Structure 1
Amino acid sequence: MNTRNTKILTAAALLGLTAIVSACGNSNNNANSNAAASPEPSASAPAAESASPSPSESASPSAVNGNGETLTVYLNDFDEMIKPLFEEATGYKLELVTGNGAEIMSRIEAEKGNPHWDVVWMDAMPSIEGLNKAGQLLDGYAPDNAAGLTDFAKQFVPANQAYYPTGAHAAAVIVYNTKEFDETTAPKSWADLADAKYKGVIGMADPAVAAPAYPFVAWFFQDQGMDGGKSYFESVLKNGAHIYPKNPNVSSALTGGEIKAAALQESNAYSLKNSGEPIGIIWPEEGAPASVRVAAIQKDTKHADAAKAFVNFLLDPAIQQKLIDDGEESYFQPSVNGVNAKSDRDPNAKLVVAEAAWASEHEAEIKQWFADNSVQ
């Protein structure tokens, strides 16, 4: 979702990932070929010599003091700030492996027999639900800070407590170039993306590559049924919609004039507007399909205490407020009470969410359909 350079995975893992991506039918998809390149860990900084108290008063004594362990977290955002925050708060060390949604999930799949990760934290709830169904997640854990979850967020905690939501954002809102359209002429609803008057000028991210793009399309397929979802996106694609690997690519196409409007993830949309680009943002009345960011622990982790401390840390209101105030992906709806969203985020923003189990069950089929039908 952000514009950081994708890091290169070791050769052995790369071969594994290439096989996985090819098996999913994406080998002939130019955009999806980006998923074959996979992330590598960032360097771990030493833990602070004198760790400050955790922002959460409910953290366990072992979590507060740390014990020299290094926790490995796979994630696709917030790596620029979460490491120092967590290390200072707990005394644990943190090693981060970053990448887009396809890269992270491909790496997890490649490591299935020998997982190198302790926690995955990513806005790809259906994919992580798939890990839950496969028995790869530690379940039955209730973080103390989960007591503060909002009513909206509580619905995303599975019955076996295998993962917890740390926020939700619009996987896409409608954005338009104000030099081409105004509020009266710009597309206002998702149906407008298939309207002939917007032929060839709409863009969106590839649901097989960008983590939030799959939750975006999944909502339509669940809401309209599989046949209805295929019919809708077939009409959008036949209307000349441009499909780009990730949301930053959509942003560049929009500001560069290649497209005039787009379905764009909300942090990317507000970042463009705040940087002075001629961008208008529309929240459709029917709702913006949401991508829910969740954190899950690897079932056989050797660092269970540190992993639990990390999940609890992410549910701390002070930490979520920090992510909103200072993070690159700062436009999201927090998952715990006592946190204020960005002041310029539409107060009437409506999020709609595909049910995780349904979206997970149909993920491969839907992504394959896009791979077979979209032209990059």
Structure 2
Amino acid sequence: MKTNGKRWLGTVLVAGLAALTAACGNTGNAANDAAGNAENVQTTAPSPESDAAATTPPADKGTLTVYLNDFDSIIAPLFEEATGYKMEVVVGNGAEIMSRVEAEKGNPHWDVLWLDAMPSIHGLGASGQLLEDWTPSNAANLTDFAKGFLPEKQWYVPTGAHAAGVIVYNKNLVKATDAPQSWADFANEKYKDMIGMADPAIAAPAYPFVSWFFKEKAMDGGQAFFSSLMDNGMRVYPKNPNVVKALAAGEISIAALQESNAYAMKNANEPIEIIWPAEGAPASIRVAAIQKDTGNPNAAKAFVEFLLDPKTQQALIDQGDESYFQPSVNGVNAKADRAADAKLVAADASWASENEAAIKQWFADQSVK
């Protein structure tokens, strides 16, 4: 109605000024200017149709593509059933997924990343590859622990956290009274040639594990700590499942093992015991991030909000492949057999991202000595 009113006002002004022009020829230029101004007011007023076009989100171009770690095969059917969006998943270990992302840097094929690789994804945000300054509608329900990992520019959101490493020992080979109780114990010579862990350059959770020690002890201190473990015969395996096999076979008798793998061994009646060290277990924070130029922004945002839904996280705990984790939202119950006093700690994502290449290179250099 305002637009029509402005059009009517312009007509009246033009008619009135025309009459004045006939009576007073010297005022013609002023009258024409005023009429022109009135006409400009009329033509620059926004129409309801243009307002609607400006606020309507663009339509998605196709199927949502999510790159994720090799876990949670139930997520695609759950999401499709809940939202109606179609979803394609591309799975791999942390190194495989990040290598693929780097190779596609000029032409990304992914819409969303959902990985146990917060430092790496933080680096993608810092390099301008992620959607920023968007807040999921249900982000207020994040736990206080999860909120502590939200980046300033909101490049990603935490969807859960798990221990990148807990202390696990083979009860047939190590007595409970002799088992290590802290990470510092790993350097004790009585555990020489008995310990194993996953490679931080390959296994997604392994870098968050080692980065906490490097952050706490500084770079030189972190190198000294892991050098002492390697001098004590610690073995580094490509991935956590390789550590599981070595532990079950007696090739090693103690391990720093990702918690889902540890509890899977225990539930399979393997002769192992799990220890949560009092100083905390370094955490791998699972995060979801949207590609900056995604062609499917509506489905991508819906997927991130879906991951923050308490019903989704409860389903992942009750039915998922990687079901042992600390949920990132309130109203979700962790596994009943997960340690009630489980303490997670994590390095700052910005610091871990900035030092990721150097730390991984240091470990790679140790393996060729």
Q: Into which bin does the TM-score normalised by the smaller protein fall?
A: 0.7 to 0.9
Instruction: Describe the superposition over 1:13-40 as per-residue Cα deviations: whole angstroms up to 9, x where unpaired.
Output: xxxxxxxxxxxxxxxxxxxxxxxxxxxx
Q: Is 1:300 matched with 2:293?
A: yes
1:92 aligns with 85
Counterpart among 239, 243, 253 of residue 260 in structure 1: 253
Hey, what's the Cα distance between the residues in 1 that align with 2:289 and 2:271? 39
Aligned residue-pair number? 314
TM-score (norm 1): 0.81
Q: Which blocks of at least 5 consecutive residues in structure 1 are unaligned?
A: 1-60
Report how far residue 184 of structure 1 moved.
1.2
1:313 aligns with 306
Counterpart among 172, 181, 184 of residue 174 in structure 2: 181
Hey, what's the Cα distance between the residues in 1 that align with 2:188 and 2:203? 25
Q: Which blocks of at least 5 consecutive residues in structure 2 are unaligned?
A: 1-55
| Equivalent pair of 1:67/1:91 in contact (CA under 8 Å) | no
Report how far residue 67 of structure 1 moved.
7.2
Report how far residue 68 of structure 1 moved.
8.3
Counterpart among 75, 79, 84 of residue 68 in structure 2: 75
1:192 aligns with 185
Instruction: Describe the superposition over 1:127-170 as per-residue Cα deviations: whole angstroms up to 9, x where unpaired.
Output: 00000110000011111121100000001111111100000000
Distance 1:79 1:68, change over 3 A: farther
| Mapping of residues 219-230 of structure 1, within 5 Å | 219-230=212-223
Q: Is 1:171 matched with 2:164?
A: yes
Instruction: Describe the superposition over 1:292-325 as per-residue Cα deviations: whole angstroms up to 9, x where unpaired.
Output: 0000000000101110000000000000000001
Report how far residue 343 of structure 1 moved.
0.4
SS for the counterpart of 1:117 is coil
Hey, what's the Cα distance between the residues in 2 that align with 1:68 and 1:299? 15
Aligned identity (percent) is 70
RMSD after superposition = 1.6
Hey, what's the Cα distance between the residues in 2 that align with 1:210 and 1:78? 13
Q: Which amino acid aligns with 1:203?
A: G
SS for the counterpart of 1:184 is helix
| Equivalent pair of 1:68/1:91 in contact (CA under 8 Å) | no
Q: Is 1:280 matched with 2:253?
A: no
Hey, what's the Cα distance between the residues in 2 that align with 1:193 and 1:251? 18
Report how far residue 79 of structure 1 moved.
4.0
Hey, what's the Cα distance between the residues in 2 that align with 1:287 and 1:153? 16
Q: Is 1:117 matched with 2:110?
A: yes
| Equivalent pair of 1:167/1:294 in contact (CA under 8 Å) | yes
Q: Which amino acid aligns with 1:169?
A: H
| Equivalent pair of 1:77/1:122 in contact (CA under 8 Å) | no
1:336 aligns with 329
Q: Which amino acid aligns with 2:119?
A: P
Report how far residue 108 of structure 1 moved.
0.2
2:229 aligns with 236
SS for the counterpart of 1:313 is helix
Report how far residue 103 of structure 1 moved.
0.3
Report how far residue 374 of structure 1 moved.
2.9
| Equivalent pair of 2:117/2:205 in contact (CA under 8 Å) | yes
Report how far residue 375 of structure 1 moved.
5.8
Report how far residue 84 of structure 1 moved.
0.2
Instruction: Describe the superposition over 1:315-344 as per-residue Cα deviations: whole angstroms up to 9, x where unpaired.
Output: 000000000011111100000000000000
Hey, what's the Cα distance between the residues in 1 that align with 2:209 and 2:176? 23
SS for the counterpart of 1:254 is helix
Hey, what's the Cα distance between the residues in 2 that align with 1:121 and 1:328? 15
Which protein has the bigger helix share? 2
Larger radius of gyration: 2
Q: Which amino acid aligns with 1:132?
A: G
Hey, what's the Cα distance between the residues in 2 that align with 1:332 and 1:79? 12
